[in-house]
Amino acid sequence: MDKLKKEHRALWDLVYESLTRTLPPHAIKTWFNSAKPISYSEKNLTLSVPSQFFSEWIDSHYKEQLVFALRSVTDDPRSTFSLIVSKEEKEAQNVSSLSPQKSKRKSNNANKSYRFKNFIEGSNNEFAKNASKSVANSPGVSNFNPLIIYGGVGLGKTHLLHAIGNEAFKKSPDLNIVLVTSEQFTLDFVNSLRKGKTLEFTRLYRSADILLIDDIQFFRGKEQTQEQFFHTFNELYQSGRQIVMTTDIVPKDMKGLQERLISRFQSGLTVDIQPPDFEIRVAILLEKSEQNGLNIGYESIEFIARHIKNNIRDLEGTIIRILAKSSLMNKEIDFNLIKEVVKERVGSSFSPELTIEDVVKKVSIITGIKEREITGKSRKKEIAEARQLSMFLSRNIIGSSLSKTGLYFSGRDHSTVIHAIKTINKKQKTDKRLKNQINLAIQELDLSF
């Protein structure tokens, strides 16, 4: 097996192939298609996987099978594997575990995976993004000081805050960037009091060139901490250092925040992030599913975007949940599974389900062919096409099973349904009229969701 040492790719191909014989296809597709062989040395195969979540999942669910496959391919009972998270994420984890006390001065403790470049822009957040960028490029110089990013939960405030830290650090690595949550700030302050190290506390925070504080709503009611923050704020502000804060309550409505803090904040700029609209949700889902190695069709993406509306964390969570559920339940990722997950997540606000009957009604209106004919046996070209279209929509849009769909159309079997779906899929690529009918049906059926 000497040759394999260099040929880690060839080795991985064999191991992968062996895994396909012991694991179900969905597990291979979900968890192993995105794994990349990095090296094979000292009997250890290193694989890179997209995220920490993948690494933990593979380790806790497929370790035995992976080791077994590896050992049978190398023919060496000592072969093992290790998983690494692809580079950017790993850096992020290393750095984000540093609290400012431990980090050296002139450093950046922002999470490296939160960047401007992976912050998807839409009309709901462009102002906040642009202001953040401008501050990152010229900290303390513009009128945007302090900059306050305001918005609901899960809309990207923390992401932007870290992106400012990362961007500023990239431009000027000698800046001292201090990024903390307001809770950490409070904790540091309380601890410094307890240990009689208030000087250290002051030194740490007042040496910041850029001070980034997440979730200042937690300062509410904590008078001593606010007092400290006020001094820190003034000192930094007066010497032209940049301060950025995030909050989920408009500062002026924040009861329990001292007036003088509020009026200080008003000297800068407050930008807000609104909930994402449909197009932005689709864009985010496309991006996040790609990042997580989840390969689902556009219709499924739209389906999720239609139902999960509140925030981006929910959208991301849905993607992760789909992956997890498929593995836990040993199920293919198909429309039914996606529907189940979405339903779980939106709970009672999930609208009543559409039936095949609704679909047929809609197709009948769009094509002008009677419902009775669509579900009947006629082989006339237009009628057969309307029937195929109905099958296609029933399956793809409302996710009805093959057999149930077949049954509804005069007891046809599931192979007829598969054929119908294939035919429509192919035809719609060249047939504009058909494509329009599909879009129209999707659009109109949506209204009843």
Residues 273-312: x where in contact with ligand ADP by CB under 6 A, - otherwise, as a string: -----------x---------------------------x
DSSP bridge pairs for 181: 214
User: From the CB of 313, what's the least distance to Mg ion, in Å?
Assistant: 9
Q: Which is nearer to ligand ADP, 316 or 385 (CB)?
A: 316
Residue 108 binds Mg ion, judged by CB under 5 A? no
β strands within 262-348, DSSP E: 269-273
Q: Which does 156 bind (CB under 5 to 8 A by kind): ligand ADP, Mg ion, none?
A: ligand ADP
Residues 121-160: x where in contact with Mg ion by CB under 5 A, - otherwise, as a string: ------------------------------------xx--
User: From the CB of 400, what's the least distance to Mg ion, in Å?
Assistant: 40
Q: Are 172 and 201 in contact (CB under 8 A)?
A: no
In this structure, the strands spanning 147-151 and 269-273 are parallel
What is the rounded CA–CA span in Å between residue 409 and residue 356? Answer: 10
What's the distance, CA 301 to chain centroid? Answer: 12
Residue 155 binds ligand ADP, judged by CB under 6 A? yes
Residue showing the smallest CB distance to Mg ion in the complex: 158
Q: Which does 47 bind (CB under 5 to 8 A by kind): ligand ADP, Mg ion, none?
A: none
Q: Which is nearer to ligand ADP, 153 or 328 (CB)?
A: 153
Phi, psi of 238 (to 5 degrees): -70, -25
Q: Which does 154 bind (CB under 5 to 8 A by kind): ligand ADP, Mg ion, none?
A: ligand ADP
What is the rounded CA–CA span in Å between residue 179 and residue 264? Answer: 20
Q: Which is nearer to ligand ADP, 11 or 149 (CB)?
A: 149
Residue 316 binds ligand ADP, judged by CB under 6 A? yes
Q: Which does 312 bind (CB under 5 to 8 A by kind): ligand ADP, Mg ion, none?
A: ligand ADP
Q: Which residues contact 363 (CB under 8 A, 6 or more apart)?
A: 369, 374, 386, 389, 390, 393, 437, 441
Q: Which does 365 bind (CB under 5 to 8 A by kind): Mg ion, ligand ADP, none?
A: none
Among 29, 112, 159, 412, binds ligand ADP (CB under 6 A): 159
Q: Which does 313 bind (CB under 5 to 8 A by kind): Mg ion, ligand ADP, none?
A: ligand ADP
- Continuous segment of H or E residues that includes residue 393: helix 381-396
Q: Which ranges of 172-277 would DSSP assign to H, the alpha helix?
A: 182-194, 198-206, 223-238, 259-265
Residues 158-197: x where in contact with Mg ion by CB under 5 A, - otherwise, as a string: x---------------------------------------
Residue showing the smallest CB distance to ligand ADP in the complex: 156
438: tokens are: 């599909």
Q: Which is nearer to ligand ADP, 1 or 153 (CB)?
A: 153
Q: Which is nearer to ligand ADP, 151 or 293 (CB)?
A: 151
CA dihedral (259, 261, 262, 264) positive or negative:
positive
CA dihedral (380, 383, 387, 389) positive or negative:
positive
**Coil, helix or strand for 101?**
coil
Question: Which residue bears the tokens 């606010």?
Answer: 226
The counts of H helices and E strands in the chain are 22, 8
Within the chain, what is the greatest distance between any pair of CA atoms?
Answer: 89
Q: Which does 251 bind (CB under 5 to 8 A by kind): Mg ion, ligand ADP, none?
A: none
Residues near ligand ADP (CB under 6 A) are 114, 118-120, 125, 151, 153-159, 284, 312-313, 316
